[in-house]
A and B are shown apart, each in its own frame.
Chain A
Amino acid sequence: MVLWMKRFPFLLLDAGPIIKLFQLGIWEEFITKCDVTISRTVAEEAKYASLEFKDICINLDVYEEQNLVKIIDVELSNVKAFHEKFDQQYNISIHAGEKETLAFLYNSSDDWLVCSADHVVYRVLGLLGRSEQGISLEEILKQIGFSRELELIYTKKFREENTRIGQIHSIQNKGLL
């Protein structure tokens, strides 16, 4: 008997990659190959953002009901404690969904990976010394055999550049209170 092992057992997705996967038409296959976890706020953001697209409709609750993805709610006190670590600039930059996702990752002892298309997510990881917990959509797709030509914000290059910016901020004593 062959057991099909899913890749990325601890994968958190931000709204940008979710929307992109729907646009590429590979969402259904993607979630059969990766164990996807999404914060409730990100799920709501993706749903709201998809209303503007004619060709896609994102309702992640349907996938949650079928146990195909996991949607998590994070306690407010955890997000607040996470929020209080950063200076005003970083706090304004981190959008609500990203804040919930990053607070969850920060408070978990598991080796979560987060995939985003926003600069600040990778900068926060670099700043917090968690660089290895970021992964681009390009890298994931490559590893599960869905290689695609993607725009800059979904690439390894984008992730690395922004992680580096966060690391530099850390060295310069910027960003954290």
Chain B
Amino acid sequence: MNIGERLRIARKAIGYTLEKASQESGIGKSSLSNFENNEREPKFSQLSQLANVYRRTVEFFLTDEPFIEEVMLWRSKPNSEEEKKRTEAEFAQLCEQYRNLEVLTGEVRKAKLPEPDVDKPEEFTFERAESFARKVQNQFCLGDIPSASIKQVLEERYYVKIFHLAFSGSAISTFSPEYGYAVLLNIDKTTKQWRRNFDLAHELFHLLTWNIFATCRSQSTQPTENEEKFANAFASQLLMPDDTLRDRIDLRKNGQGQIELDHLDDIAREFGVSLDALVYRMANLFRIQKQDTEKCLDAAKKLVKFHKNRESENQEILPERYCDLALRALREGKLSTMQFAKYMGTSYKKAQEYLMENDGFMDETISISVA
């Protein structure tokens, strides 16, 4: 594939018209059109500028490899197509940078994620989604409170790339043979930690069943309705294991077998899920009547208005492993100061200061004998 085609793909992927690309890059619209139609070759500096505007690496345009479209599944999309594309482009760039850091530090690692016992989408049922969640719970050793460790396990043991950005809409999951598995979670002010926990578990279902449902998706960004329902059932079961949930409820129910909403709220907080999610889960587990469930959900809505964000809800955009790999690549001289600043979303000045502070530590390899 030639540079012109790649320029067009990159521009369209971020949702820019020629006018917008021209405004952002300072390169004339007719020049951009000429580049895309292979009527004229851009100067390297122009290509570099466009790579920045389109959130791609220069290498993306220099390769002759065939282009593979990134498939991104949204849990709920932003209303504006522009924001959707911009978020996708930003997420793809972060994934690419993460992959680059892995390559630079020789830390490209693959771990096999658990697979469901079904091969075709039509074989999936709610029961199978739930039993698959139990299998994952066991394999991941998530313990009584899965929300407390699931992110760490996915990032550190299965090398799933998990980023956080502020955008309107919910989470995104993606898989590419080049970058592996990745999830983008929302950190805008209105998104609570329990929502992110549920989003992550929900997106995990998409990652684990990526190939199974790939054939029946009408659009590359839209999971099917059934797929979404199964993902919710899976997430609910994964985050609230049967035995632990029953145990917590037994502890708090009164002599008449009733449990107060405030106590349910305590349990939801402990599991790191929303009160709504807990109520739905209980309705399923204890076969609660629809009418009673709805009454409880109404009351829950009023109660959650009093909730405040907790301190622990602050999330960094970049995963810890990503940051550590970037620091290692910088220290080993595999990442320039300019690149380091870009990868870490910081200024050149700060990157330079970091280098100066660690002047004596460059290129040193320290190891401990364990023989």
Contact = CB atoms under 8 A, between A and B. Distances in A.
Interface of A: 15-16, 19, 39-41, 44-45, 48-49, 52-53, 73-80, 83-84, 88-89, 91-93, 95-100, 103, 117-120, 123, 151-153, 161-162, 165
B48 A96 contact: yes
B261 to A, nearest CB: 51
25 contacts: A16-B338, A40-B44, A44-B45, A44-B48, A48-B348, A52-B349, A52-B350, A73-B43, A73-B45, A76-B47, A84-B62, A91-B59, A92-B100, A93-B335, A95-B336, A95-B338, A95-B339, A96-B44, A97-B338, A99-B58, A100-B44, A119-B333, A119-B334, A120-B334, A161-B363
A165 B41 CA distance: 35
B58 A92 contact: no
B104 A75 contact: no
Interface stretch (B80-88, B271-279, B354-362): B354-362
A151 B348 contact: no
Contact of A96 (B51, B341, B363): B51
Given A15-B338, A45-B338, A118-B333, 14 more contacts: A39-B45, A40-B44, A40-B45, A41-B48, A44-B45, A83-B59, A92-B103, A95-B339, A96-B51, A98-B336, A118-B336, A118-B338, A151-B359, A152-B362
Contacts of B355: 151, 153
Contacts of A88: 103
B13 to A, nearest CB: 20
DSSP class of B's interface residues: helix, strand, loop or mixed? helix
A48 B103 CA distance: 27
Interface of B: 3, 41-45, 47-49, 51, 58-59, 62, 100, 103-104, 333-339, 341, 347-350, 352, 355-356, 359-360, 362-363
Contacts, number: 103
Contacts of A117: 337
A165 to B, nearest CB: 8
A176 B295 CA distance: 68
B363 A76 contact: no
A151 B104 CA distance: 25
Contacts of A103: 44
Contacts of A123: 333
Contacts of B347: 49, 52
A19 B41 contact: no
Contacts of A83: 59, 62
A79 B49 contact: no
A44 B336 contact: no
A103 B42 CA distance: 16
B336 A93 contact: yes
A39 B352 CA distance: 21
B49 A44 contact: yes
Contacts of A19: 348, 352
B334 A96 contact: no
B41 to A, nearest CB: 5
Given A96-B58, A118-B336, A151-B356, A49 B341 contact: yes
B350 to A, nearest CB: 8
Given A52-B347, A92-B103, A120-B334, A100 B359 contact: no
B348 A52 contact: yes
Contacts of B333: 118-120, 123, 162, 165
Contact of A89 (B104, B339, B350): B104
A100 B46 CA distance: 11
B336 A100 contact: no
Given A44-B49, A153-B355, A75 B44 contact: yes
B361 to A, nearest CB: 10
Contact of B44 (A48, A74, A84): A74
A119 B333 CA distance: 5
A103 B338 CA distance: 19
Contacts of B48: 41, 44, 96-97, 100
B103 A89 contact: yes
Nearest to B350: A52
Nearest to A121: B336
B27 to A, nearest CB: 12
Nearest to B35: A76
B337 A16 contact: yes
Contacts of A165: 333
Pairs A-B, 6 closest by C-beta atoms? A119-B333, A49-B348, A40-B45, A52-B347, A118-B336, A52-B349
A128 to B, nearest CB: 17
A152 B359 contact: yes
A40 B47 CA distance: 11
B159 to A, nearest CB: 18
Contacts of A84: 62
Contacts of B58: 96, 99
A53 to B, nearest CB: 6
